[in-house]
Amino acid sequence: MAKTKTEQPSFEQFLSYFPAVELPFTLGEDTHHLFSTENKPLPGVVIGTFILPIEGEQESDEMTEFIACFQLPNTGNFHAVVYWRAELLNYQYRLVTFDTKGNLIDQKVIAGTTYDGADLTQTMAVIQEDLLIYLVSGQSQIVVEDYAAATSTANRLQLSDEGKIVEL
């Protein structure tokens, strides 16, 4: 029996997994649960065609999970999507921008939780209507169960008219 060739999904099909959200929107520690129950699961062929190529050197295995979160509204000449990537001790919300043909413009981790064996780092993001993104990160040491406010940081990002993610 001959193998049938798996058809590559179109960029429009990829975008259909990312519903638009109303801004402002906050990404917190457990926001991905909302998306995993309300959004369609990403098929392997969609992950392989659109997500894995932009992951770069970050390795993925059968335990790595991807969840389509949302698409930013009113971006003009580009598309901006957020997906969640989960692997052991590392959970990331990734913002990715594409031109209208589906070519990658830019990408950045904007929220999530990481644990390096000593420190737990958590980052939350708030995306405003003007496409300003406010990030707040905090660290704590699990062994000591001590949160030090002095280890918190705040950053601002902006999506440019061309789809670049710029740190302010």
Could you please report the per-residue DSSP string of 3-62?
Answer: PPPPPPPPHHHHHTTS-B-PSSEEE-TTHHHHHHHHSPPPPHHHIIIIIGGGSTT----T
Low-confidence ranges of the chain (pLDDT < 70): 1-6, 57-58, 141-151
What was the pLDDT predicted at 63? 83
Q: What is the pLDDT of residue 88?
A: 86
- pLDDT tens profile 4-48: 556 899 999 999 999 999 999 999 888 888 899 999 999 999 999
Residue 123 is predicted with a pLDDT of: 93
What's the pTM?
0.88
Q: Indicate the burial class of 67 (C-beta count within 10 angstroms; 0-12, 13-18, 19 or more).
A: buried
Amino acid identity for residue 73 in this structure: P
Q: What is the pLDDT of residue 133?
A: 97
Task: Output the pLDDT for position 46.
Answer: 96
pLDDT reported for residue 153 = 83
Distance CA 146, CA 168 (A): 30
